[in-house]
Structure 1
């Protein structure tokens, strides 16, 4: 069975109940959400208390885990990663595409794409998979970056823990379109309503102060900068 043939929300706890009309059942939309962001939030219980921590991540839709693989990494001293393989975790990814301004505070909203992935991660110990995972995490932040970097050193690898989470148990919710106002507010026609698009911006790349004059800006950095309209 291919990843696209799997149900997006195959379990009770990953089935959207609130706002079902905004649930998406196509796994391609999960891939879209995961590709749209650079930061996820990891939810894990430590010493009986929940913690939600922002972190970078990587994705391999054809990875070895059921439904594909989401990779997390960090210091071997990070308790959030050390305790994670012993219990279920929750990873969320959200991209905000627009601010929805309605005629009342109650109906204000956002246009967004959001994914929730649940499961018990595994510790990645295979050297080849660890390398692919760390490259995927770098490329999630800056596409194409990993192939330009030197290899990881043994010291760096020894200081890093890598976790893999199956993408099988996941849900996606999205919202798009304009405000949904009450008829009485629309008829009153006294308050401006609409959508303000919003998103990340990428500025002009600034070379390091100690960069040699013979090292030119690579194509993947130029592509990243040119792909954004910038902040104006």
Structure 2
């Protein structure tokens, strides 16, 4: 049986790219790939009439983005299905050096998602959402670490946000100098790649002797 490819991203007034439209991506796979590679999103919303942007852990499954936080967090309490939010994820790939400062740039991949998150109230679905977030940030930990206790479960909020209204923008390649700067400029031009990687695992100071680094942690370093 042939699997149906995901529908492309459909632009809405809020998700329509207005500048550098050629950098836009309409493939939903580009959105999935970016979200799966990123680790932290920024959740933007209005709280008491003031804009707030907060770094937040997340996880994706299909066309659903799960966000989690404390039940005491105002941003989590605002996710009751009546508040519009904007979630962004940006991956910086390089600094682009041009012959003129004006043409310096960055190579990046970014996603902007609009919508109204809803709290996951069903206990089984809420636990599943927590697992999706955990598997995204620390894969393998759900099976390795102690399970979530009833008290911990009650103290955390899980929100789900549909990936129905989203845009993706990508800048790659070298500098975009003018012909005159290429011909006459004496400054160096090129790309300085930026790579994010995990380092060697550092055991907790109070770790009981004899507990080895598990493969799901060692394998990421």
Q: TM-score range by the shorter chain?
A: over 0.9
Distance (whole Å) between structure 1 residues aligned to residue 152 and residue 60 of structure 2:
21
Q: Residues 1-232 of structure 1: matches in 2 within 5 Å? A: 4-61=5-62, 68-85=63-80, 86-225=82-221
Structure with the higher fraction of residues in helix conformation:
1
Aligned length: 218
Gaps of 5+ in 1: 62-67, 226-232
Distance (whole Å) between structure 1 residues aligned to residue 105 and residue 48 of structure 2:
35
Distance (whole Å) between structure 2 residues aligned to residue 124 and residue 45 of structure 1:
21
TM-score between the two structures when normalised by the length of structure 1: 0.90
Range moving further from structure 2, 86-95 or 12-21: 12-21
Distance (whole Å) between structure 2 residues aligned to residue 10 and residue 184 of structure 1:
37
- 4+ residue stretches of structure 1 with deviation over 6 A? none
Deviation of 1:34 after TM superposition, in Å, equals 0.1
> Any idea what SS the aligned residue of 1:14 has?
coil
Gaps of 5+ in 2: none
Distance (whole Å) between structure 2 residues aligned to residue 202 and residue 122 of structure 1:
33
> Any idea what SS the aligned residue of 1:209 has?
coil
Deviation of 1:3 after TM superposition, in Å, equals 8.0
1:3–1:35 CA distance, 2 compared to 1 (3 A): farther
Instruction: Give the conservation status (yes or no) of the 8 Å contact 1:4–1:26.
Output: no
Range moving further from structure 2, 76-85 or 140-149: 140-149
Instruction: Give the conservation status (yes or no) of the 8 Å contact 1:99–1:196.
Output: yes
Distance (whole Å) between structure 2 residues aligned to residue 4 and residue 42 of structure 1:
29
> Any idea what SS the aligned residue of 2:125 has?
helix
> Any idea what SS the aligned residue of 1:128 has?
helix
Deviations 1:129-150 (A, max 9, x none): 1112112212222222222122
